[in-house]
Amino acid sequence: AQSVTQPDIHITVSEGASLELRCNYSYGATPYLFWYVQSPGQGLQLLLKYFSGDTLVQGIKGFEAEFKRSQSSFNLRKPSVHWSDAAEYFCAVGFNAGGTSYGKLTFGQGTILTVHP
């Protein structure tokens, strides 16, 4: 079965430091890849997505992510974290939507980011 793993439950960084959040998936073909951010008690906001093409994608709020097929990964990065980036981050993967599939998204368990001043 397809799966998505975010290995880090909680990450703490200092303001101004760089950030990398990990996401790995298990699937045989090229998936559709998303990163969402959620502030406490709020809905999810799309940060960026990868469907095809350039494997380095740019998103909102200065975030970027790189799709590495050989590692089945789609890690999220930011060169300099701001205190307002503190939130929970979710990686989501849409697997092959051909045939009988409708394009379901499978979510990782989330990574909580704490930013120290």
Partner 1 sequence: DGGITQSPKYLFRKEGQNVTLSCEQNLNHDAMYWYRQDPGQGLRLIYYSQIVNDFQKGDIAEGYSVSREKKESFPLTVTSAQKNPTAFYLCASSIRGGQGHTDTQYFGPGTRLTVL
**Strand runs labelled E in 29-96:** 32-38, 44-50, 56-58, 64-68, 73-78, 87-94
Candidate ranges 21-29, 60-68, 79-87, 91-99; the one touching partner 1 (CB under 8 A): 91-99
Residue type, 112: I
Q: Report the C-alpha gap between 109 and 7 in whole angstroms.
A: 9
Of the candidates 80, 109, 114, 116, which one interacts with partner 1 according to CB under 8 A?
109
Q: How far is the CB of 26 from partner 1 (least distance, A)?
A: 15
Q: What are the φ and ψ backbone dihedral angles of 56, each rounded to 5 degrees?
A: -105, 115
Tell me if 103 contacts partner 1 by CB under 8 A.
Answer: yes
Q: Which residues bind partner 1 (CB under 8 A)?
A: 9, 32, 34, 36, 41-46, 49, 90, 92, 94-95, 97-105, 107-110
